Amino acid sequence: MTIKSDAQDRTVFLLTHTGRAAAIRSAERVVQGLLRCGIGVRLLADEAADLPLPAAVEQVAEIGPEGVEGCELIIVLGGDGTLLRGAEFARASGVPLLGVNLGRVGFLAEAERDDLDKVVDRVVTREYEVEERMTLDVLVRNDGRIVHTDWALNEASVEKASRERLLEVVTEVDGRPVSRFGGDGVVCATPTGSTAYAFSAGGPVVWPEVEALLMVPISAHALFAKPLVTSPRSVLAVEVQPETPNGVLWCDGRRTVELPAGARVEVRRGAVPVRLARLHHASFTDRLVAKFALPVAGWRGAPA
């Protein structure tokens, strides 16, 4: 979906990591560029306090659905952590997220800090596309009762809570057991998250347009503990064994809950996607090569 329109009565929410000098400079540049073109800018009050901003900038105390009401985009300036923070608000509000990477890899980001002027121009002219990324819905059961629910864009990981002992788990797909092993845990991921924690644990890279769920063991002590790629309609489960120490559930590395021995974590395709704004038509293959600096010297391409 390509969107184009005049810049009238439009507002953009800006989320940034003001603890970094580079982020503050970038935020000032984006704010000034948008205001010059007649586009309103809204920020969190506590972040605005760290920025020398004109009075025209709107400030809100929170960035819940009400805080972004009427906004066309959420522009996020920062690294992966800030981008995932922005994804929380994008999912809750349905407002598309446009990420500008100020960190290292930044697979969720659509632009780099050197592209700030281009980002402003594309926002002003509304020359961007919006795509949906699948998410995960996560629930935790204990003694058969649902004790916690959560969600994730990248991954939900079940991990050991202490370094001294392995976490004993049984993995399950669609109501059938797959394998029992001890290890550091298990990552359940989306294709978007395949280049994040799941990748570092040895999982496959999955192209974003592929609809699938991933289950990747972390440092498992087992003969069969391979990464699995399942249907997007599958339900993945990880059962923490009764005789093992407590574990911990992490969602996108941001939200956590303790898992007592015997707890069961179920992961399925999320009911609510995250909408991402895209400025480029570059293939995911090119993005992968660029982000990981993959060597491609000697490539000649397909014969004409």
Q: Enumerate the active-site residues.
A: 80
User: What length is written for the chain?
Assistant: 304
Cβ neighbours around 17 below 10 Å, total: 21
Q: Could you please report the per-residue DSSP string of the chain? A: -EE----SS-EEEEEE-TTSHHHHHHHHHHHHHHHHTT-EEEEEHHHHTTS---TTSEEES--STTTTTT-SEEEEEESHHHHHHHHHHHHHH---EEEEE-SS--TT-SEEGGGHHHHHHHHHHT-EEEEEE--EEEEEEETTEEEEEEEESSEEEEEES-SSSPEEEEEEETTEEEEEEEESEEEEE-SGGGGTHHHHTTPPP--TTS--EEEEEES-BSS----EEE-TT--EEEEE-TTSPPEEEEETTTEEEEE-TT-EEEEEE-SS-EEEEE-----HHHHHHHHHT---TT---S--
| Rg of the chain taking only CA atoms, in angstroms | 21
> Looking at this protein, which amino acid is placed at residue 113?
R
Handedness of CA 192, 195, 197, 198 (dihedral sign): positive
Q: How far apart are CA 185 and CA 237, in angstroms?
A: 12
Asked whether 30 and 119 are in contact (CB, 8 A), the reply is yes
